[in-house]
Copies of this chain bind each other. A is one copy, B any other.
Amino acid sequence: MASSRGVRHDSMRARNLAVVLGEIRAAGPLTRAALAELTGLTKTTVSKLVADLLDAGVVVENGAVRDGERGRPGVAVSVSGHRIATLGLEVNVDYLAACVVDLTRTVRVRRVRPADNRGSRPEAILADLRELAGQAVADAERAALRITGAGLAVPGPVQDGLLRNAPHLGWRDIGVAGQLGLHDLACEVDNEANLAALGELWFGSGETDFLYVSGEIGIGAGLVVDGSLFRGTYGLAGELGHVVVVPDGPACRCGGRGCLEVYAGQDALLGAVVPMRGRVAAMPGAAAALPAASASIDGLVSLLEAGDRAALTAAGQAGEALGLALTSAVHLLDPGTIVLGGVFARLFPWLERPVSDVLSARLRQMRRTPPRVAMSAIGADAAVLGAAGLAMQRVIADPAGVLAL
């Protein structure tokens, strides 16, 4: 219950600018009349606000709408991708990534650099990332884009801008944004799973209510309700990987026992089909250039496609464990649908059945229909895109403040 501030004239206008811009962005090209209808403001006011947005170059008029109706046709306005953009960054265990996204949600620049970041010093990695970011920004500036903010996805929980604990990097309590040092560019840091969920929201299927399940080296999840992310009290919500699946199961690195990650984490998935390692290396299609973890997942997919028994049972068991954890998650979080992302998206064909079966068996009485289980619409880019989108959201939420309107 943060002490709420009163509304003054300038904040009223700032809010109305945001409402109009948000509506234009959300509902596609709209005429001023339609905007007046949607926002409850008068045509006069909308005209003035749109004029300001046009001046700032964030929206453009794109010609009269010829809808065959009677009366004067309106002039549709839509967001312009020509001026404003934001930077998305990601540090992950086996790669660094950067992207630039414009106001229309078009990806303008995309740069990925494979790397083995396990146990590396934060300074070194972040210097590499700064360089990558610099290249992406330079690309964007060549396209005459103005970068107004940045977002950064990291593989671990973030609290007050501090990366608390990234077990696979070996980092603890790192002030990532500060060490990254993007001179005068504000950079918001968040968990990879949270940002991937937002990526799915803004760049994916268009759904506004879902639980994004992020299968990376660890397992995380981000819940989106009515288009906004649920973070919990300290920003640590969504740790699906450590939901208890079997109370006296094998020990997990988190100190618990029988966590989901023990059954469906990448180590479990790959460990269950150990002999494949040799086979994969010998297979002609195996991409030798890719880092080890990724290659192994590729190998697992190949084995699954080939109908390998051990691989199929491993996937089936992981799917069942995932279904059990998701049963608890559905009861507690009440998500709209469930979107499987990351590694789970690649394994979707073999996971969908066991997950859905467990969910429907266990939820049948409580809900008329259990949540649908879907595959992520965007691939491995989800988190970087979400990071860029997060920064863009600040522009949408307060165009006046960001653009000095």
Is A242's CB under 8 angstroms from B366's CB?
Answer: yes
Question: Which of B4, B20, B324 is close to A6, meaning CB atoms less than 8 Å apart?
Answer: B20
* Identical chains bound together, number: 2
A245 interface residue (CB < 8 Å to B)? yes
| Total count of chain A residues near the partner, CB < 8 A | 70
Is A367's CB under 8 angstroms from B26's CB?
Answer: no
Is A243's CB under 8 angstroms from B1's CB?
Answer: no
A45 interface residue (CB < 8 Å to B)? yes
Measured between beta carbons, the chain B residues less than 8 angstroms from A365 are 253-255
Measured between beta carbons, the chain B residues less than 8 angstroms from A7 are 7, 12, 15-16, 19
CB distance from A112 to the nearest CB of B (A): 29
| In the bound complex, CA of A377 to CA of B15 (Å) | 40
Is B242's CB under 8 angstroms from A233's CB?
Answer: no
Is A1's CB under 8 angstroms from B328's CB?
Answer: no
| In the bound complex, CA of A243 to CA of B334 (Å) | 12
Is A38's CB under 8 angstroms from B3's CB?
Answer: yes
| In the bound complex, CA of A64 to CA of B27 (Å) | 53
Stretch at the interface among A74-82, A223-231, A285-293: A223-231
A235 interface residue (CB < 8 Å to B)? yes
| In the bound complex, CA of A326 to CA of B327 (Å) | 14
Interface residues of A (CB under 8 A from B): 1-8, 12, 15-16, 19-20, 22-23, 26-27, 38-41, 45, 165, 208-209, 221, 225-227, 230-247, 253-257, 324-325, 327-329, 331-336, 361-367
| In the bound complex, CA of A247 to CA of B144 (Å) | 57
Is A361's CB under 8 angstroms from B255's CB?
Answer: yes
Is A324's CB under 8 angstroms from B3's CB?
Answer: no
| In the bound complex, CA of A165 to CA of B233 (Å) | 30
Is A324's CB under 8 angstroms from B39's CB?
Answer: no
| In the bound complex, CA of A203 to CA of B235 (Å) | 26
CB distance from A103 to the nearest CB of B (A): 17
Known: A233-B225, A365-B254. A332 touches B20 (CB 8 A): no
Measured between beta carbons, the chain B residues less than 8 angstroms from A209 are 233
Is A6's CB under 8 angstroms from B16's CB?
Answer: yes
Is A255's CB under 8 angstroms from B364's CB?
Answer: yes
Is B238's CB under 8 angstroms from A332's CB?
Answer: yes
Is B255's CB under 8 angstroms from A6's CB?
Answer: no
Is A226's CB under 8 angstroms from B332's CB?
Answer: no
Known: A40-B8, A239-B366, A247-B246. A233 touches B335 (CB 8 A): yes
| In the bound complex, CA of A20 to CA of B256 (Å) | 47
| In the bound complex, CA of A234 to CA of B209 (Å) | 10
CB distance from A187 to the nearest CB of B (A): 23
The 7 closest A-B pairs by CB, nearest first: A232-B334, A1-B227, A255-B365, A256-B362, A237-B334, A239-B331, A6-B41
